[in-house]
A and B are shown apart, each in its own frame.
Chain A
């Protein structure tokens, strides 16, 4: 408590008002009743000395609790949940909203409730090669600990490439030439957008050079082939293929194959 004044002088017939107020210390008080006494003492002659009782009742208030603080989720689309609870007393109305990552994260159900509840958050597949994080804010007016921020962290996607090579011969009538047939197997469970597939070739140990660049949209299916026409007899060729996103980042690389 805080008194507006703790001493003073009064003339005959005069009055003064002392205001008793609660201070910041009351904020940390647990629920309950707190009592004290204010004493007014006539320091001149003691006449009229008196006491007054004061009491403070601290009522229990709602406390917002959301668990867990973060959910780690996989690359594929799906849902995850957060539990909302009122760990205090009284009634607590709350609501949840996505405040970051709204392009891939959304409240599927449980966007609002009273006291306890479950917030179900949906997310799309991560079609980038990088992890990403979205934020959900849970607010409860008048509740301690509000608002509460929880996060959803989604793993990065990846493109797995398998490469098989064959050295074959193509024949016309008189002319025949050797060529390479490359079979590429693509495992892209998150449907990451591949901007370009770059095929590298190392001819005769001279170092890798770009053989061909294929637009990611120009090939389809989990398996496709590419032809390297033509090969010099007696020369060994080594190949690898790399998947690149629109920013030029490598998001997948195959094994090397020699033919």
Chain B
């Protein structure tokens, strides 16, 4: 799932960037509140979520966007107190719009599809799953005077459902991934002149 989404997205972004489009790349870190109550019960109400995002401006403020992120947490089982590990990952592609509000302030919004995967290692077993969902974000960016670097705050929501988890190792047959998230990002503009 990851490779099938990442490789074409990166290739597409680089192709368009090299065609003198403007490429924005950012890294960020934030927190996600997982939607799944089962996840929250074991791993807590919030998960650290590092992210990498990229956007290629296609026309005026319209951008092609892509992003990846991973939330990894460790927890304990309730009765036996055994260590558990789990992670949720996403790869997303979509469309966004960047609106320059002033010389140093820019707002952006983006939405797209997200391929999400989950992984849990607990009770002597490993379970993996993946599903397709969506992701949406709203952000506000503070830009340098020349527009080459920016920092931003983004609020978003990401969601996917994983089904077909096989009993009996997997308790629930389907689970929800993702949840509302907030992140701070730092980014650069590449291949652009203005």
Contacts and interface: CB of A to CB of B under 8 A. Distances in A.
Interface stretch (B52-60, B163-171, B186-194): B163-171
B75 A176 contact: no
B169 A173 contact: no
B29 interface: no
Nearest to A168: B79
B43 interface: yes
B171 A175 contact: yes
A170 B120 contact: no
Contact of A229 (B78, B118, B123, B168): B123
B113 to A, nearest CB: 23
Interface in A220-239: 227, 229-230, 233
A233 B125 CA distance: 14
Contact of A173 (B39, B80, B168): B39
Contacts of B122: 172-175
A236 to B, nearest CB: 16
Contacts of A171: 38, 77-78, 171
Interface string A150-182: 000000000000000000101111111111000
B42 interface: yes
A174 B127 contact: yes
A174 B172 contact: yes
B37 to A, nearest CB: 10
Interface in B35-69: 36, 38-39, 41-43
B118 to A, nearest CB: 7
Interface residues of A, number: 15
Interface in A47-62: none
Contact of B129 (A174, A176, A229): A174
Contacts of B171: 171, 174-176
A174 B118 contact: yes
Interface in A163-206: 168, 170-179
A173 B38 contact: yes
A175 B127 contact: yes
A175 B175 CA distance: 11
Contacts of A170: 77-80, 82, 123
Contacts of A230: 123-124
Contacts of A227: 80
Contacts of B86: 172-174
B124 A173 contact: no
Contacts of A229: 80, 82, 123-124
A174 B123 contact: no
B21 interface: no
Contacts of A179: 80
Nearest to A229: B80
A179 B123 CA distance: 10
B30 to A, nearest CB: 21
B78 A174 contact: no
B72 interface: no
A176 B168 contact: yes
Nearest to A234: B168
A233 B168 CA distance: 8
Contact of B170 (A168, A174, A233): A174
B60 to A, nearest CB: 44
Q: Which of the listed residues B75, B84, B122 has the most CB atoms from chain A within 10 Å of its own CB? A: B122
Interface of A: 168, 170-179, 227, 229-230, 233
Interface of B: 36, 38-39, 41-43, 75, 77-80, 82, 84, 86, 118, 120, 122-125, 127, 129, 165, 168-172, 175
25 contacts: A168-B79, A170-B79, A170-B123, A172-B75, A172-B84, A172-B120, A172-B122, A173-B41, A173-B43, A173-B75, A173-B122, A173-B175, A174-B38, A174-B120, A174-B129, A174-B175, A175-B122, A175-B125, A176-B168, A176-B171, A178-B168, A227-B80, A229-B80, A229-B82, A230-B123
